[in-house]
Amino acid sequence: MNLSRLVTREISHRKTNFFLTLAGVALAVTCVLATLAAMRSYDLNSDRIIAKMEADTQQEMKQLEDDIRKTMKGLGFNIYIFPKDQDMSEVYDQGYASKTMPEEYATTLANSKIVTVNHLLPSLTQKLEWPEKKRTVILIGVRGEVPLAHRDPKSPLIDPVKKGDLVLGYELHRSLDLKEGDELVFKGKKFKLGKAYPERGTKDDITMWMNLSECQELLGKQGQINAIQALECNCATLDRLGEIRAELMQILPDTQITETGSTALARAESRTKAKATAEKQIAAAKSHRTQSSAEREKFAGILLPIVLLFAMVWIAMLSLMNVRERVMEIGVLRAIGVGSKIILSAFLSRAVLAGLLGAIAGVTAFVITYPLLKERFFQGVAMGDVLAGSDWLVALVAAPVLAAVSAWLPSLMAAQKDPADVLRHD
Amino acid sequence: MYYAMTEARHPAVKARGLHKRFVTAEGEVHAVNDVSFEVQAGDFVALHGPSGCGKSTLLLMTGALLSPGEGIIEIAGKNPYELNAEGRATFRAAHVGFVFQQFHLIPYLDVLDNVLVGDLVSQSVDDVSMRERAHDLLEKFNIGHRLHHVPSKLSIGEQQRVALARALLRAPELVLADEPTGNLDPENSEIILQHLADFADEGGAVIMVTHDDRARAAAKSSMHLDAGRLLESDQGESDKEEGDS
């Protein structure tokens, strides 16, 4: 005769009590697992939705950026940096600045770490007579883009004009019947027509481009420019110009800037707004997820202790009933010399066995019902993604321990039962 | 030989000046009042008296289950009340067997396990020698054919025989029987009394609380308790007779 035989025989004799104990444990285990699974599946699903939103937004933004880059590149420069004392109404009136600024401003800007603009193009522009042809032309001296020191080199938006060359707008070369390679004279100096632009329908058609240093010399403005053209970056905020201005003023305080409007800018703004909206939506989704998760955790923090407490009280009550039913048995066993430790072990073993079998039953019930309830309660998340092996192990270990703790007091009462007291009242 | 032999140099039970008081709602009850006696190995003593006279209390004190308020009790030369509760349990397992009027068999164990339940004390795996001894006892008590029946399937007499086998499993020196024939018909009473007498004849000591005159007659000696006092005891005479013989 040994303890396990006594325990198993007693269990088979008082099946109802043991089954109710086991069912209580099973229910608690299933409830705990379901709560954990529901919380985790919700979090996982939210994370997946947010990740998809982020990926979609990223993809969309990338596409928009590509579109904008292409459009902007086609558009050309859209930022003009002028001397600070330049009257802008004059610029809007005649199309260029009459004031000048040192050419090295372009180099200073290029060597700074400016990020809000790129493709810097210093130029000297002036409307003047082409005395040899009796024409009014817009002369623009350009030297080519000044590469930004801190950026990867980019393909220039326009090519520099070689010394000795001229580039003519459509109206000029058409009306004068000039072809690329022809020699011509401007203000007494010989040039070769390096390039003849096709018709653009703008002031470019009556514009003459010349190498900057030759232009400066011709106009008697050595080392001077009256504008730096640039292509603005697509800044993160809607106030791009403000951002550019703020950055520029720190580097070139003696300048001012203006921006030319364009459909590309509108698209850039739209893109920025779309990005901001998408980011807001993602942030809102994340915030909602965090909030919901916190609420669920709070709810679980209340529910789980109640479930566990209920289960423990249930086990304790059933254990107490078992002890009360077995008072005489305990008295007789104690009388014939069975020690209190054995009595304690008998009752605790019973509780541990109920806990273990209850945990197995609870886990089994959960595993069987999960596929049926997956879509409805667990966000369609696979069971393996919400519950790991360690969770099952914890359930299988914790349930018997909790059952033993719950049955501890009744078991102790049984173990400490005074046999004389029992037998005297027989 | 199925029963143990008490070491000859000690009486099976030696009680001196035993008192036991209980405090109840109605006041203090002096259940056992200055009781002294000795029971030798081979004695079969009937303890009788009116209901509530303290017989069961005295039996529990004698069985190392209820400590006396005053006085000393020795079983097989040792005072069990000098031990702690666990020590007394071990002591009981080794020296005392109990038989109750209501048998108190464990309802979910079969006959064999009910007898072997006393072996739980050892906390070990099944002891083969104990199983053999249990088989022997059950055969001796003519219930060897019902080893695997639960108590509810047994007759009253069979149940009491199983209880007696349980009491004797660990070969105690002393068997304490509280009204062992109280629920039995004459035939089964006779059987139980005969087994108790056999136990005494083989060197054990029996103290039996009884109201039954036939049971008293079966005992070798008797003690009469009334209102907690031992009024009459023919133990001395018995001892004397044995000494004379």
pLDDT tens for A161-220 read 889 999 999 999 999 999 999 999 999 999 999 999 999 898 889 999 999 999 999 999
Chain A neighbors of B90, CB-CB under 8 A: 337, 339
Instruction: Out of A235-239, A274-278, B31-35, give the one with best mean pLDDT.
Output: B31-35
What is the per-residue pLDDT across B183-193, written as a single tens digit (0 to 9) for each? 888 888 898 89
Across chain A, mean pLDDT equals 86
Please give the Cα distance from A319 to A399 (Å, whole number).
15
State yes or no: pLDDT of A266 exceeds 70: no
List, as ranges, residues 107-146 from B with C-beta within 8 Å of A. Answer: 107-109, 113, 116-121, 123-126, 130
Q: Do B60 and A423 touch (CB under 8 A)?
A: yes
Contact B58, B47 (CB under 8 A): yes
What is the per-residue pLDDT across B33-81, written as a single tens digit (0 to 9) for each? 999 999 999 999 999 999 888 888 999 999 999 999 999 999 988 999 9
State yes or no: pLDDT of A35 exceeds 60: yes
| Domain parsing of chain A, residue ranges | 3-60+278-424, 79-259
What does the block give as tokens for A173?
């070369």
Give this complex's ipTM: 0.87
Mean pLDDT within A403-418:
94
Token pair 């073993």: residue: A349
Please give the Cα distance from A236 to B167 (Å, whole number).
94
Predicted confidence at residue B242, as pLDDT, reads 41
Place A426 in a pLDDT band, splitting at 50, 70 and 90: low
Predicted confidence at residue A68, as pLDDT, reads 64
How far, in Å, are A132, A160, A167, A190, A218 from residue A183 at the CA level?
13, 19, 12, 7, 18
Q: Do A332 and B100 touch (CB under 8 A)?
A: yes
Mean pLDDT within B212-216:
88
Neighbours of B98 (CB within 10 A): 27
Could you tell me the end-to-end alpha-carbon distance of chain A, in angstroms, rounded to an integer? Answer: 26
Predicted confidence at residue A69, as pLDDT, reads 62
Mean pLDDT within A30-55:
88
CA dihedral B115, B120, B125, B131 (to 10 degrees): -20
Indicate the DSSP class of residue A146. B
Pick the residue from chain A with its C-alpha nearest to B119.
Answer: A1
Place A71 in a pLDDT band, splitting at 50, 70 and 90: low
The answer to which of A118-127, A341-350, B3-12, B161-170 has the lowest mean pLDDT is B3-12
What is the per-residue pLDDT across A298-317, written as a single tens digit (0 to 9) for each? 888 898 899 999 999 999 99
Q: Do B93 and A3 touch (CB under 8 A)?
A: no
Axis crossing angle, helix A389-415 with helix A340-377, rounded to the nearest 10: 150
List, as ranges, residues 62-81 from B with C-beta within 8 Å of A. Answer: 63, 65-66
